[in-house]
Structure 1
Amino acid sequence: MIIEQSTFSREAGAAIHLAPNANGILRRLGIFAETFGANTMNRFTEYTLDAEQIRSIDLRGPNKQWQHPWLLAHRIELHNKLKLAAEDVNEKGSVQLRTASRVKAVDPKSATVTLDDGTEIKGDFIVAADGVHSVARGHIEGCDTKPFSSKKSAFRFLVDRQLAAEDPATFQYVQTLGDLHVWHGSDRRIVMYPTSNNTLLNFVCIHPEIETAQDSGEGWDQSTSLDKLLQVYESFDSSVLTLLSKADPRSVKVWTLLDMKVIPTWTTENLALLGDAAHPFLPHQGQGAGMAIEDAAALSTVLPFGTKKAEVPERLRLYQNIRLERAKRVQQYSRLAGKDPGEQDQGDMYGYTDYNFGHDEFDNAGQKFREWQWKRNPNVYWRMPVAFGPMPGPRQTHLGAARDGNNSTFTTASIKFKTSRTKLQNLFPPGRQGWRFKSTGTVAYASISQTTLNKMDWLGGSGYKHLGLYVHGVEYVKKDGSIVNGTYLPILFENLADPIISGREELGMPKMYTSIDVYQRSKSYRIRTGWEGALWGDFLLEDLVEVDASSEKGTISGEADAGILIHRYMPKVGAHNKGVAADEHVVWDAFDQATTTPRTQKIYKAGKARFTIDALDWEQLPTMHHVTSRLAELPVYEIVSAKVVDGVGVPDVSSATPIE
C-alpha cells in the first residue's frame, strides 16, 4: 500500500531532470518519458547578468557516451505515469494507493503506520519517502537532525515558449530546442530549460533568502508576486527581465532551499528512509529526484518477491550500505555546484557529471546483492572462475622440456559488439578493487572470440577449440598507482579437459568446459556451444570476403590488444579452510613477450554477424548456468565488426605473470 498525504488533485507544475542515471531506471521499468512529452537536453549555455554569453556547449555528442538519454520532463506527466504503473492491475506489483492520508507516527518494530484520524495500517516493513520534513526520520534513534536553510530561496514558474519565440527581445533564448540557459549574478542566478516537447519553459531563479523572506516557505506552493521576482533580478539585462515578465503572475511561487547534515543511519528494524527523507538535495545538480529513483531501484533489488519477513531488517541495512556513500557524495557535489562566484572552489563540474551519470543502480545494487548473498555463507569453496581447480599443461613435457608452438595452426573467428559498461564491470572479480574502464561512459565494447587450434605437439598433433568473452578498454590500477591497460578475460570456454586443467593451474585462466561445434563454409562461419546436448550459444558470421592480411591486426581476442588481464584465484585446501584463498592475484599476459609470435596468413571480413546466448536453466546446464545466465544478460547495442583469421604459430602463454 502507498499512503499519500496529498489528494493528487493539484500537483506542482514544474519540470524535472531525468539524467541518464535516473532515466535508465525508468526505461527498465517500461517508462519512456519521451512518450509523454519529455525532450532531450541538447545544449548548455551560460551568460553574465548583462546577457553576455560565457560559453555554450553542444551536449548531443557527449551524450552518446551514456546508455540512456538526458531528458527534461514535466513533473506532473511523470507522476501520472508512475501512478498508472503502480496501480496497474495486470502487473505483479500492483499496489493500493491511499490518498489524503497524513501520517502522524510510525512503529518500526511492528511496521505500523498511524494516520491523523487514528487509523492504523500494518505491513511487513515501512518505506518512508516523506520528504525533507520526514515524520518517520524522528523514529530512528540518533536521526533527530532537522533541515536548515541554505540561505538561498528560489522562484519557480513556467512560461509558454511561444510567448518568448514571438518576441524579438527574447527569441534568441528559445531558438535552439533543448537548450538549458543559466544567467549568473554575483549572488543570484536564473536557470531556464524547456519541457513538454519544448512547448514550456521551466524557470528556477535562485537568490538570497533574505530578499523574499516574507514570502518564502518550506513548501513548494508559497505564492509570491511577479513584481517581487522582477525586483530581485532588476540588475539583469532588459531582455532577461522581458523573459521573466512573461510569467503568469498567479503561477509564480517561491520556496526556501533547505539542506541537512548527513544522518548516521537510514534504517531501523522494519523501517527505511528513501529520497529526501534520508538525504535532501539542493537543486544545483538536478539529481534530487534521480537519487530517490536510484534508492527505489536498490531497495527493490534487495527485497525481491519471496523475501522472508525475518530477513527484512538485515536487507534494509544492506540497502543503506549500497546507497549511503553515493547519495552523500552527490549531495556534496550539489552544494559545491551552488556556490556563488568568488566563493570557495566549485570543484570539477565535468567530474561531477561523469560520476552522476556513469552509474546504473540496478546493475550496481544487483552486484552488491549478489556479493552479500555470497558472503552470507563464508564457509564455502570458491572455484575458478573465480575459482575451480587447475591442472598441468602445454608449457612443458612430463620431463620439463619446453614445447614448440611455431608450427601449430589457429583459426580465430571474432564478433566485436557495443554493450553496457555497467553490466560488464559486474563481471570484474568480487570487490573489484583496482579494476575499472578507461572510459567514464556507460557504453563499452567486448568481443566473443572463438579459436580452433591444431597441430599441437603436446596433444599428439591434434588440437582443441576455445571461446571467450573479451572485455576491451579495461585498466588495472596497481598498488603503486601505475596503470596496466588491456583486455579483461572473465571467462574462457574450452572443449577439452587437458587445456582447461593446465591453464587454470599454471596460469590462473578462468576456464570452463563447453562443447564447441564449428561449421565453416566458403562464405560463412558458424559456432554452436553446449553441454551434453543442451545448446546455449549460437554465433554466426556471414558474407565472408578475404582482405589483405597485412591491413588487419588481431590477437587471440580478435583485436589488437596489448595483452590480457586475468584474475587468478586458487582455493586453500582443508575442510577448516573453506572460503580461504591459497593464492589470489591479477595476471598480465603481454603479447609482445610471448615465446611464439602468431603469423597471420589469411583474413576474412564478415558482411554481417550475430549471436544469441540462451541461459537455459540449472537442470539443463547444472555446472555452468551461473555463467551463461550472466552472459545472456549482456545487451547488444550494435555489432561493430566480425572477422575470421587463419595463421600459424601458437604461443604457450608462459609470458603470463602476476602484475605485482
Structure 2
Amino acid sequence: MHAVVQDLEICIIGAGIGGTTTALALAKQGFRNVTVYERAPALGFVGAGIQMAPNMARILTKLGVWEPIADDGVAMEFYSIREGATGKNMGLVDCSNIEKDYGYRQTGGHRATLVNNLYDGCVKSGVKFCFGSSIDTTLDFTGRPTFTVTTEDGQSRQVQCDILLGADGIKSQTRVALLKHLNVTAGVRETGQAAYRIMLTRDQMKHDPELLALLDGNETIRWIGEKRHIVAYPISQRSIYNISTTQPDVNFAAEASATYTTKGSKKAMLSVYGDFCPLVLRMLDLAPDEEIVEWKLHVHDPLPTWVYGSFALIGDACHPTLPHLGQGAAQAVEDGAVLSIFLAALPDASPININKALVAYERARKTRAETLVNLAAESSRELHLGVGKAREERDRQFAAMKTGVPGKVPDKVMDVDVHRMTYGFDCMQDARVKAVSVL
C-alpha cells in the first residue's frame, strides 16, 4: 500500500459489528489513522445470541479474532424445525457437512463476545475510539467529508476526514444525511413483527431435566406457529440458552427507544404463545419479568446508492434484514472486509480514486446483501403460514427433509442452495479480483 494511502484519515460512525469489523479490517490492511465514533458511553448490547455462519467465520479468521469467539460459542450439529403447538419434529438437518463443505461450523455465540473481541483487535491495531459522541445530520459531503461531534458534556466540534463511513445501524443518522443531500426518500418500514429476546442461565434451567437437555444439546431449534415462531440455541460454552421469538407487533410500547427496544411484558408474552407446547411455555415462564425485552423489527426501502463522494454506508445503515436467515451480522462483516480491500488497492489518495473505490465496494456488495434481505423476508412468510393448502405443502416439504433427499426447504437457513450462495462465497477473494480491474 502507498504511504500516502496508509495515512488517509478514515472516520467510522458506529461501534457495532459493522463498524468494528470495518475498523479492524482497515487496520489489518495497514491504514494508520482510523477513528470510530460511537454515541453510547461504552460497548453494550441488548439481546445476546447471534448465529455465526461460515462466511462470517472465514473473515473473522483472517482478521485474527475468530478463535476466542469460536471457543466461547457452541457449534451446532443439527437444525430442527418443530411444530409449536405439539412440539413434533417436522424436519431435521444434519449440519455436519457444513464444516466439510465450507470450512467452518454453524456456531451460536454471544454478541458481546463477538464485539468485544473485534474491539480488542482494533485497539491492538491502533484504531482510536471516541465513545459518548453523537453525530447530527448536518454532514457536509463536498470535498473532504465534515461532520459535527457532540460529546456527553455538551461540547461540540467539527471533524474533517478523507473518508467517512456510516455504520450507525437501522436508525442511521448518516443515512438520513445522505438521503437529504440526494433529495431522495427511502424510509424505514415497520414489518408488523416484534421479537422477545431472552437468555436463560444453566442455574435457571437445572431443575427441569427436559429443559436442561436443550442447553446440553447440539441443536438449533425453531418452533413454528401461525404468524409466530421461536428459535433457541445454547451459547457461551452452554452456560446460557438464547431464545428469540417473532410475533405480530401488537404489544409494543408506543414510544420505542433509540434501539427500537422496550420493556416487555411476561404476561403478554405467555399469552402470545399460550397455544404452544408445554415445553416451550415452561421455558418462557423461567424468564424473569424484569429481563424480558421486546424489539420492533424494521427494514427500510432499498437505497438508490450507498455512496457519495468520499462517504459510504455499511451494514444495517444500508441493508437491515429480518433475523430469519442468520445473515444480518454476517453481511455487515462482509461489508467491512470488502471495503477494506478496495481502499487498500488505491493508487493514490485523490478524492476521485477514493470515490471509485467506494463505488466498486457498493457494486460488489449491494446486489448480494439485498438478495439476502429478500430471502429472510421470504423465509418469514413461509414459517408463519396459517391453516390452508400453502401450509400443507410447506409441511410436506419439511417432512421430505427426513428422507435425506429434500427438495425446496421452506426455512431458508436449512436450504442447501442458500448455503452455497451464502457460505460458499468468498467475498474477500472476489473483492481482490475486482480491485485489480477497477483501481
TM-score, with normalisation over the residues of structure 1? 0.53
Trace 1:173-572 onto structure 2 (pairs within 5 A).
173-177=214-218, 179-212=219-252, 214=254, 219-304=259-344, 307-310=347-350, 311-339=353-381, 340-342=384-386, 348=409, 349=412, 350=415, 351-373=417-439
Checking the alignment, whether the CA contact within 8 Å between 2:163 and 2:310 is kept in structure 1 is yes
- Displacement, 1:122? 1.1
Match of 1:85 in 2: 121
Tell me if 1:128 matches 2:166.
yes
Provide the residue aligned with 1:623 in structure 2: none
SS, match of residue 156 in structure 2: coil
Q: Give 1:6 shift.
A: 0.8
The partner residue of 2:53 within 19, 22, 26 is: 19
| AA partner of residue 195 (structure 2) | A
How big is the shift at 1:67? 1.9
Does structure 1 residue 106 correspond to structure 2 residue 132?
Answer: no
Name the structure 1 match of 2:91: 55
Q: What letter corresponds to residue 204 of structure 1 in structure 2?
A: S
Structure 2: which amino acid aligns with 1:202? Answer: N
Amino acid at match of 1:70: Q
CA displacement at 1:35 relative to structure 2: 5.3
* Equivalent residue for 1:45, pick from 67, 80, 88: 80
Go from structure 1 to structure 2 and tell me whether the alpha carbon gap of 1:18 and 1:212 turns closer, same or farther (over 3 Å shift): same
Letter in 2 for 1:147: V
Deviation by residue 1:550-580 (Cα, 9 ceiling, x = unmatched): xxxxxxxxxxxxxxxxxxxxxxxxxxxxxxx
Structure 1 pair 43/370, CA: closer, same or farther in 2 (3 Å)?
A: same
The Cα of 1:30 is off from its aligned counterpart by 0.6
Paired with 1:72 and 1:16, the residues of 2 have a C-alpha distance of 6
Task: String of CA shifts for 1:616-648, please: whole Å, max 9, x gaps.
Answer: xxxxxxxxxxxxxxxxxxxxxxxxxxxxxxxxx
Q: Secondary structure at the match of 1:23?
A: helix
Asked if 1 retains the 8 angstrom alpha-carbon contact of 2:252 and 2:262, the reply is no
- CA 1:312–1:9 in structure 2 vs 1: closer, same or farther (change >3 Å)? closer
Q: Secondary structure at the match of 1:322?
A: helix
Structure 2 Cα separation of the partners of residues 120 and 221 of structure 1 = 31
How large is the Cα RMSD of the aligned pairs?
2.2
**Retained in 1: the 8 A contact 2:69–2:113?**
no
Change (3 A) 1:169 1:195: closer
Give 1:211 shift.
3.7
CA distance in structure 1 between the partners assigned to 2:77 and 2:315 by the alignment: 27
- Residue type of the partner of 1:132? I
- Indicate how the Cα distance of structure 1 residues 217 and 95 shifts in structure 2: closer, same or farther if over 3 A, else same: closer
Could you tell me how far apart the structure 2 residues matched to 1:26 and 1:203 are?
A: 25
Shift of 1:228: 2.0
> Partner residue of 1:115?
149
- 1-structure distance, mates of 2:71, 2:43: 19
Distance 1:327 1:248 in 2: 36
Please state if 1:71 is matched with 2:107.
Answer: yes
Which residue among 176, 180, 189 is the counterpart of 1:148?
A: 189
Distance 2:42 2:228 in 1: 33
Q: Residue 4 of structure 1 aligns with which residue?
A: 38
The runs of 5 or more residues in structure 2 that have no matched partner are 1-34, 395-407
Structure 1 or 2: more helix by fraction:
2
Say if 1:12 and 1:76, in contact at 8 Å, map to a contact too.
Answer: no
- 1:483 maps to which residue? none
Q: Which has the higher contact order (CA 8 A, sep 6+)?
A: 2
**Per-residue CA distance 1:381-408 (angstroms, 9 max, x = gap):** xxxxxxxxxxxxxxxxxxxxxxxxxxxx
Determine the C-alpha separation between the residues in 2 that align with 1:352 and 1:165.
Answer: 37
Query: Which residue identity is paired with 1:144?
Result: T
- Bigger CA radius of gyration: 1
Distance 1:222 1:84 in 2: 30
User: How far apart are 1:172 and its partner, in Å?
Assistant: 4.6
Using a 3 Å threshold, how does the CA distance of structure 1 residues 193 and 58 change in structure 2: closer, same or farther? same
More strand by share: 1
Contact 1:137 1:144 in 2 (8 A): no
Aligned partners of 1:37 and 1:196 also within 8 Å: yes
What is the CA-CA distance between 1:62 and the residue it aligns to?
3.6
Partner of 1:391: none
Q: TM-score, normalised by structure 2?
A: 0.79
Asked whether the equivalents of residues 12 and 220 of structure 1 are also in contact (C-alpha less than 8 Å), the reply is no
Give the C-alpha shift of residue 259 in structure 1. Answer: 1.4
CA distances 1:358-385 after superposition (whole Å, capped 9, x unpaired): 1111111111112324xxxxxxxxxxxx
Write the mapping of 1:599-638 to structure 2, written as runs, cut at 5 A.
Answer: none
Aligned amino acid, residue 127 of structure 2: V
2:185 maps to a residue whose letter is D
Per-residue deviation, residues 420-477 of structure 1 (Å, max 9, x unmatched): xxxxxxxxxxxxxxxxxxxxxxxxxxxxxxxxxxxxxxxxxxxxxxxxxxxxxxxxxx
Q: Residue in 2 aligned with 1:31? A: 65
Unaligned runs of 5+ in 1: 374-660
Q: Note closer, same or farther for the CA distance 1:112–1:18 as it changes in structure 2 (3 Å cut).
A: same
CA separation in 2, counterparts of 1:263 and 1:209? 25
C-alpha distance 98-266 of structure 1, shift in aligned 2 (>3 A): same
Residue 432 of structure 2: SS of its match in structure 1? helix
In the TM superposition, residue 80 of structure 1 has moved relative to its aligned partner by: 0.9
State how many pairs are aligned: 368
Tell me if structure 2 keeps the 8 A contact 1:283–1:334. Answer: yes
Supply the distance in 2 between the matched residues of 1:115 and 1:191 (Cα, whole angstroms). 39
Cα distance change, pair 101–368 in 1 and its aligned pair in 2 (3 A): same
Shift of 1:317: 0.6
Q: Using the alignment, how far apart are the partners of 1:204 and 1:224 within structure 2?
A: 13
